[in-house]
Chains A and B, each alone.
Chain A
Amino acid sequence: MEASQDSAALSGQGRRYPSVIHAIGNTPVVRLQPLERETDGAHIYLKLEYANPGGSVKDRAARQMILDALAGGRLRQGVTLIDSTSGNTGVAYAMIGAALGLRVALVMPANVSAPRKAIVRAYGAELILSDPMLGSDGAIEHCQRLVDAEPERYFYCDQYANLSNPKAHWLSTGPEIHAQVGAELTHVVLGLGTSGTCMGTTRYLRQHLPHVRCLALQPSEALHGLEGLKHMASSLKPAIYDEQVPHEHLAIDTETGWDMADRIARETGLHVGHSSGANIAGALQVAKAHPNARVLTIACDRGDRYFAPLKWERNYTW
């Protein structure tokens, strides 16, 4: 790229929206050219989901789940939206809740990074911390107990079982990828957390671009450091997850994901979170194995969300 190029000519078309809710989606796709040098003519594309206003891919699912619940009357004034979340979905609920004047309560394991907790509090959401030894499954169970105790008080959004979660990706992520990369796309690599992104996007692509191979990615070990991703074999299986939907499954270890996140920040200027690092490591693996492949993966969120100041995090409530 010429350094003297006019920045207006480089920018995409700016858009104007009536609210933050409308500004979700239509995220950019960029090529990771420094990584492509390790491949035989492949292109690697990264869809920057951190460009969503809440800073992560979870804005899409949260918007769809909230809009569908409002339309169905399950969520209304006086009822509090509650869910368990390891962070990004919570940020999205809190942001959308603030925009729509809805009360939001979030159950998070106490070992979620400090910035996450600070962000959701900034939007005015109520934060309930669960046992850090029990991970995200402990948060799910804690949330279920609260809802069971006061069912009339809460609307339990349940991102792990809510069909509006994959629907969001069927309606937006899949069509955007189709429009942005099109028929040249050969592979997508999508990490599994709730599995909503993978289920919705994969189903869309299998229908509209049936030649594309869809790979689901998860941590290789039960004890891992890829926040937001689930090691399915050792986790409560999300109700929306169907392991038959992807064509193939990939496993990435924590160190590989973390190292890739560090590497692409320095080599491409994209500072992504650890789960995105794992996604990119998986995409590179696929690109190396297939000459001239066109592989797309997703940057779920930005790396600065994981600048956890350990010293502030020392005191957990057991």
Chain B
Amino acid sequence: MSVTIKIPTPLRTLTAGADEVALEAGTIREAIDTLEAKYPGIKDRICDDKGVRRFVNVFANEEDIRFLNNLDTELSDKDVVSIVPAIAGGSGPTSSK
């Protein structure tokens, strides 16, 4: 499945500034693993050994994956996955001023 991952500003240092990444994945887990393969280190920021970190929300389209099937949530073609900090703290160096 061809999906789009939306990257929050604090992680854009790892994606060379990209705010969106297009990749192939059938589940959220695959999407994050593929992201890690492209941008080493990013998975640790999103997940710990128990799954998605407590202070990070991952949305499959409009739905928080905690209310779906967590990392095993299946994705369809053209789905949009958003990684959103649970809070609104610091942003990233890519934001302009």
Residues on A lying within 8 angstroms of B by beta carbon are 86-87, 108-109, 111-113, 132-139, 141, 219, 221-232, 234-236, 254-255, 258, 274, 308, 310-311, 313-316, 318
Query: Which one, A135, A255, A311, A313, contacts B89 given CB within 8 A?
Result: A135
Q: Which residue of B82, B86, B89 contacts A219 across the interface (Cβ within 8 Å)?
A: B89
Partner of B88 from the list A136, A255, A315 (CB cut-off 8 Å) is: A136
Residue in A closest to B92 when the chains form the complex, CB atoms: A234
**Bound complex: CA of A117 vs CA of B91, how far in Å?**
20
Interface range for B: 35 or more
CA gap between A261 and B91 in the complex, in Å: 24
* A137: B residues at CB distance < 8 A: 9, 90-92, 95
Inter-chain contacts of A229 with B (CB < 8 A): 89-90
Identity of the chain B residue whose Cβ is nearest the Cβ of A130 in the assembled complex? B88
> Digit string of B79-97 for contact with A (CB within 8 Å is 1, else 0)?
0001011111111110111
Interface 0/1 of B37-49, CB less than 8 Å to A: 0000000011010
Given A137-B91, A219-B89, A236-B97, A224:B84 Cβ within 8 A? no
Partner of A311, one of B54, B62, B67, B90: B67
Inside 8 A of B17's CB, which chain A residues have their CB?
none
Which 5 residue pairs spanning A and B have beta carbons closest together?
A225-B55, A137-B91, A109-B88, A222-B10, A135-B91
Tell whether B72 is near chain A: CB-to-CB under 8 Å: no
Question: What residues of chain B have their CB less than 8 Å away from a CB belonging to chain A?
Answer: 6, 8-11, 13, 19, 45-46, 48, 53-57, 59, 62-64, 66-67, 82, 84-93, 95-97
Query: With contacts A137-B9, A236-B95 known, what are 7 further pairs, Cβ within 8 A?
Result: A86-B89, A132-B85, A219-B89, A222-B90, A225-B85, A254-B55, A310-B66
Q: How far is the CB of B27 from chain A (nearest CB, A)?
A: 20
Nearest-Cβ distance from residue A63 to partner chain B, whole angstroms: 23
- Interface pairs (12), CB distance under 8 Å: A132-B85, A132-B88, A134-B95, A136-B89, A137-B91, A222-B90, A227-B87, A228-B89, A234-B90, A254-B53, A255-B48, A314-B62
Question: How far, in whole Å, are A232 and B89 apart by their CA atoms in the complex?
Answer: 10
What is the CA–CA distance of A209 and B91 in the complex, to the nearest angstrom?
35
Q: What is the CB-to-nearest-CB distance from B64 to chain A, in angstroms, rounded to a whole number?
A: 5
Docked pose: A91 CA to B22 CA in angstroms: 39
Report the nearest B residue to A192, measured CB to CB: B90
Is the pair A223, B11 in contact by a Cβ cutoff of 8 Å?
Answer: yes
Q: Which residues of A contact B9 (CB under 8 A)?
A: 133-135, 137-138
List chain B residues, Cβ under 8 A from A226: 87, 89
